[in-house]
């Protein structure tokens, strides 16, 4: 079934360029939407596979979704405003919420610097930056310089953030935070700069103008969207699919060997290829460990956010000097960027157990 047509490579021709590969394996056609191959399904045969080709009426399982179920789950928001939920919030409200719930990871004003995504800053001109040898300025991909649609931001924040408690924000809060992030990115609403009192709501949401809306190719909108994608992906010059199957004396101008220098070794578990017995380790799960990993490690697993990081003796000695009761009380109330109960709903007793676990790992 696999037809390899061009098996002869004529030796003696200096550079052999095979422009039209005619080895259409499995009778495929180069007409897929991704510029690649589709293969026929015929008479129970699909490429190297057989399948059951009995003729049957449509097979039907499941049941009709109810209107309420559709309402409950169909919560996506599209660029044209489809699905925009009712709600409103001001930039100022968003500022407060962001500081409380987001800045711990994304930095003040979303300016990054803590290892989590940077949400603001940079300019569109930076998108042409290329860190080729000698150039160190990276392109800055933020909401203001890169994101094509504001609907993405509202939808994503509501569904996916804050990271450890997704879907916990009300729509009013989500509008407020979105307004704040747009404002810090100096994005305009209805042609005007946004200030603390600017209200963003489902009424005026479509008046946001995203600076990099036109920064993407091909055009996927409108009735020809899919056709455009297909045409774009089918032309190798657009996507770097320009390799040639040269066999002899092939040219690659200026190419020289670059061998890895100071290779990275920060991997877990460490590199090892030996076939030996593992060192015995204590695999038992300690009380509080599971809850720590689930609810606290996002902040306490590293030292980036100012949380006493687990494993850091000094930091934990300082915390525990106050005595467990005081520390527990602080953890229950929350302090600084530490939300009440670490954002969880664990009982006092469970929290104590978790804190003791964290301390035990930091002695």
Partner 1 sequence: MKKIDKPSTNDSSLVSNKSSRRDFFRKAAVYSASAVAASSLLSPVKLLAEGKDDEFIMEEQPWATSLGYELNKNPYGVPSPYEHNVVRRTTPLLSSAGDMHAAVSLTPLQDLKGIITPNGLFFTRTHNGVARIDYNKHRLMIHGMVKKPIVLTMDEIKRYPSESVIHFLECPSNGAAEWKTPQFDSLQFVKGMMSCTEWTGVRLKTILEDVGVDPKALWMLAEGGDGSSMSRTVPVEKVMDDAMIVYAMNGEALREEQGYPVRLLLPGWEANLCVKWLKRLEFGDKPWYCKEETSKYTTLLPTGKAIQHFYPLEVNSIITSPCPEKPWTDLKKGDIVEIEGLAWSGKGTITHVDISFDGGKNWVEAKLKGLVLPKAWTRFSYIYKYEGKELMLESRATDDSGDTQPTVNQEKKIMGVEGVYHRNSINTWYVKANGEVHNAQMRS
Interface residues with ligand HEC (CB under 6 A) are 101-102, 104-106, 116-117, 119, 153, 156-157, 161-164, 177, 295-296, 298-300, 305-308, 319, 322, 327, 330-331, 335-339, 342-344, 346, 351, 354-355
User: Which residue, 35 or 308, has its beta carbon nearer to ligand HEC?
Assistant: 308
Range 164-183, binding partner 1 (CB under 8 A): 166-167
Strands 208-209 vs 188-189: parallel, antiparallel or unpaired: antiparallel
Per-residue b/e over 325-344, b at no fewer than 16 CB within 10 Å?
A: eebbeebeeeeeebbebbbb
Quote the least distance from Cβ 295 to partner 1, whole Å. Answer: 11
Cα R_g (the chain), whole angstroms: 28
Task: Please pick, from the candidates 10, 42, 43, 132, the single residue that binds partner 1 as defined by CB under 8 A.
Answer: 132
Cα atoms in the Cβ-side hemisphere of radius 13 Å centred on 57: 2
Kindly report the backbone phi and psi dihedral angles of residue 126, in degrees, each rounded to the nearest multiple of 5, phi listed first.
-65, -15
Q: Does 69 bind partner 1 (CB under 8 A)?
A: yes
Strands 88-90 vs 199-201: parallel, antiparallel or unpaired: antiparallel
Range 88-107, binding partner 1 (CB under 8 A): 105
User: Which residue, 35 or 288, has its beta carbon nearer to ligand HEC?
Assistant: 288
Tokens matching residue 63: 């049941």
User: Which residue, 261 or 363, has its beta carbon nearer to partner 1?
Assistant: 261
Helix (H, G, I), strand (E, B) or coil at 338: strand
Q: Does 14 bind partner 1 (CB under 8 A)?
A: no
Decide which of ligand HEC, partner 1, none touches 354; Cβ closer than 5 to 8 Å per partner kind.
ligand HEC
Decide which of ligand HEC, partner 1, none touches 307; Cβ closer than 5 to 8 Å per partner kind.
ligand HEC
Decide which of ligand HEC, partner 1, none touches 274; Cβ closer than 5 to 8 Å per partner kind.
partner 1
Cis previous bond, 269, omega within 30: yes
Closest to 89 in 3D by CA, of 152, 167, 193, 183: 183
Q: How far apart are CA 340 and CA 351, in angstroms?
A: 11
Decide which of ligand HEC, partner 1, none touches 13; Cβ closer than 5 to 8 Å per partner kind.
none
Quote the least distance from Cβ 175 to partner 1, whole Å. Answer: 17
User: Which residue, 35 or 310, has its beta carbon nearer to ligand HEC?
Assistant: 310
Kindly report each contact of residues 207-215 with a partner whose C-beta sits within 8 Å and lies 24 or more positions away, as own/partner: 208/150, 208/182, 210/147, 210/148, 210/149, 210/150, 211/124, 211/144, 211/145, 211/187, 212/124, 212/127, 212/144, 212/145, 212/146, 212/147, 212/148, 213/148, 213/149, 214/148, 215/124, 215/127, 215/146, 215/148
Decide which of partner 1, ligand HEC, none touches 196; Cβ closer than 5 to 8 Å per partner kind.
none
Decide which of partner 1, ligand HEC, none touches 338; Cβ closer than 5 to 8 Å per partner kind.
ligand HEC
Q: Does 301 bind partner 1 (CB under 8 A)?
A: yes
User: Which residue, 138 or 226, has its beta carbon nearer to ligand HEC?
Assistant: 138
Tokens matching residue 17: 């360029």
Range 189-208, binding partner 1 (CB under 8 A): none
Q: Which stretch binds partner 1 (CB under 8 A): 43-51, 198-206, 330-338, 344-352?
A: 43-51
Decide which of ligand HEC, partner 1, none touches 177; Cβ closer than 5 to 8 Å per partner kind.
ligand HEC
User: Which residue, 35 or 162, has its beta carbon nearer to ligand HEC?
Assistant: 162
Task: Please pick, from the candidates 10, 254, 283, 363, the single residue that binds partner 1 as defined by CB under 8 A.
Answer: 254
Task: Please pick, from the candidates 134, 191, 269, 323, the single residue that binds partner 1 as defined by CB under 8 A.
Answer: 269
Size of the chain in residues: 363
Closest to 83 in 3D by CA, of 26, 159, 141, 17: 159
Angle at CA of residue 114, ends 308 and 265, nearest 5°? 90
Tokens matching residue 294: 């689930």
Decide which of ligand HEC, partner 1, none touches 336; Cβ closer than 5 to 8 Å per partner kind.
ligand HEC
Quote the least distance from Cβ 119 to ligand HEC, whole Å. Answer: 5
Query: Are 119 and 106 within 8 A, CB to CB?
Result: yes
Quote the least distance from Cβ 103 to partner 1, whole Å. Answer: 14
Please give the distance of CA 275 from its chain centroid, rounded to a whole number.
Answer: 36
């Amino acid at each position: 079934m696999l037809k390899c047509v061009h098996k002869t490579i004529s030796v003696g021709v200096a550079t052999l360029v095979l422009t039209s590969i005619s080895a259409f394996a499995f009778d495929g056609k180069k007409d897929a939407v991704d510029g690649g191959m589709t293969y026929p399904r015929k008479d129970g045969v699909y490429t190297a596979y057989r399948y059951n080709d009995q003729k049957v009426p449509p097979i039907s399982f499941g049941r009709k979704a109810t209107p309420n179920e559709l309402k409950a789950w169909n919560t996506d928001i599209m660029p044209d405003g489809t699905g925009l939920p009712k709600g409103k919030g001001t930039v100022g409200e968003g500022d407060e919420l962001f500081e409380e719930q987001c800045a711990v990871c994304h930095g003040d004003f979303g300016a990054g610097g803590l290892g989590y995504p940077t949400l603001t800053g940079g300019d569109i001109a930076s998108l042409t930056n290329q860190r080729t040898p000698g150039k160190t300025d990276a392109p800055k991909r933020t909401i203001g310089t890169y994101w094509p649609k504001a609907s993405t931001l509202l939808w994503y924040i509501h569904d996916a953030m804050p990271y450890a408690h997704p879907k916990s924000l009300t729509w009013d809060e989500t509008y407020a935070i979105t307004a704040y992030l747009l404002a810090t990115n100096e994005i305009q609403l209805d042609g005007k700069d946004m200030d603390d009192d600017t209200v963003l709501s489902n009424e005026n949401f479509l008046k946001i103008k995203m600076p990099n809306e036109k920064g993407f190719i091909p055009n996927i909108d409108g009735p020809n969207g899919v056709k455009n994608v297909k045409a774009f992906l089918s032309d190798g010059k657009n996507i770097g699919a320009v390799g040639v199957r040269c066999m002899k004396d092939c040219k690659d101008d200026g190419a020289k060997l670059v061998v890895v220098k100071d290779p990275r070794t920060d991997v877990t578990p460490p590199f090892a290829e030996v076939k030996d017995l593992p060192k015995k380790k204590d695999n038992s799960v300690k009380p509080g460990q599971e809850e720590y990993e689930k609810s606290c490690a996002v902040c306490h697993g590293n030292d980036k956010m100012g949380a006493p990081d687990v494993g850091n003796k000094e930091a934990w000695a300082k915390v525990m000097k106050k005595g467990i009761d005081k520390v527990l009380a602080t953890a229950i109330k929350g302090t600084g960027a530490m939300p009440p109960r670490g954002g969880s709903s664990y009982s006092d007793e469970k929290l104590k157990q978790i804190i003791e676990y964290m301390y035990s790992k930091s002695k």
